[in-house]
Amino acid sequence: MDKLTPQQLRELYGNPSGRAKDKVLTQLDKHAKAFINQSPFVVLSTIDANGAMDASPRGGQAGFVKFTEDGNIIIPDAKGNNRIDSLINIAETGQIATLFFIPGVDELLRINGNAFITSDATVLDLFSTEKIPLKTAIILEPKEIFLHCAKALMRSKFWSVEAQLERSNLPTMGEMLKDHLNSKEPAESQDAMVNRYQKDL
């Protein structure tokens, strides 16, 4: 199997033109802010000092991501499993890429930039209504901001009810983890897992 070089890829695909080339912003405008305010879900992509990569979801009610006065983005770190892969990666390299989703909307918002982790009380106070107090938040300093076209979600029919998988057609998380860990313990039921998760939301 061949491994194409960047030059071969550019020769194969050509150069972007028109809106695809010119749509990149370096600062948040009113549309980017409005998109983020309506987004309850964002995927973070990070990389560590050795080049190992990670992608991690973050979610909350629309508006859970906030802004600093100087145009940066604040992503709260809600209670998770304490792996903190993304946080450590950001602390090591200061780099992040994000993808914001809005349910029912096929377009996405991509924001790449520098980032750091803070435990500053004035920042965490912005999230004082959270049931479980935050320990840290991510500050994202945007360098590239652009709307991503709808084709991927349109092709996948991502928001279509007809495309939704009946949950019983997939093993439960407990069953999959039991196999992954080669555990002899009984698999946690889906209901038990959901009830356990609800305590941390």
Is residue 74 in some structural domain?
yes
Residues 118 and 62 in one domain: yes
pLDDT digits (tens, 9 = 90+) for 15-40: 988 888 788 999 999 999 999 999 99
Residue 122 has pLDDT above 90, yes or no: yes
Residue 3 has pLDDT above 90, yes or no: yes
Domain CATH for 120: 2.30.110.10
**What integer pLDDT is reported at residue 16 of this predicted model?**
86
For residue 109, give the 3-state DSSP assignment.
strand
Residues 54 and 141 in one domain: yes
**What integer pLDDT is reported at residue 171 of this predicted model?**
94
Residues 97 and 72 in one domain: yes
pLDDT digits (tens, 9 = 90+) for 64-85: 999 999 999 999 999 888 999 9
Residues 31 and 74 in one domain: yes
Mean pLDDT of 125-150: 94
Residues 62 and 122 in one domain: yes
Is residue 66 in some structural domain?
yes
Residues 188 and 90 in one domain: no
- Round the average pLDDT of the chain to a whole number and report it: 94
Residues 170 and 141 in one domain: no
**What integer pLDDT is reported at residue 200 of this predicted model?**
80
Return the number of other C-beta atoms located less than 10 Å from residue 33's C-beta. Answer: 14
Sign of CA dihedral 68, 114, 103, 196: negative
- Quote the number of domains for the chain: 2
Residues 40 and 114 in one domain: yes
Domain residues for the domain of 179 are 165-198
Residues 100 and 192 in one domain: no
Residues 148 and 170 in one domain: no
| H helix or E strand, kind and range, residue 85 | helix 85-93
pLDDT band at 129 (very low <50, low <70, confident <90, very high): confident
Query: What distance in Å separates the CA atoms of residue 77 and residue 88, rounded to the nearest whole number?
Result: 12
**What integer pLDDT is reported at residue 111 of this predicted model?**
98
pLDDT band at 130 (very low <50, low <70, confident <90, very high): confident
Higher pLDDT, 35 or 193: 35
Residue 116 has pLDDT above 90, yes or no: yes
Mean pLDDT of 117-146: 95
Contact 27, 45 (CB under 8 A): no
Is residue 85 in some structural domain?
yes
Residue 181 has pLDDT above 90, yes or no: yes
Is residue 102 in some structural domain?
yes
**What integer pLDDT is reported at residue 131 of this predicted model?**
85
Is residue 4 in some structural domain?
no
Is residue 6 in some structural domain?
no
| H helix or E strand, kind and range, residue 156 | helix 151-156
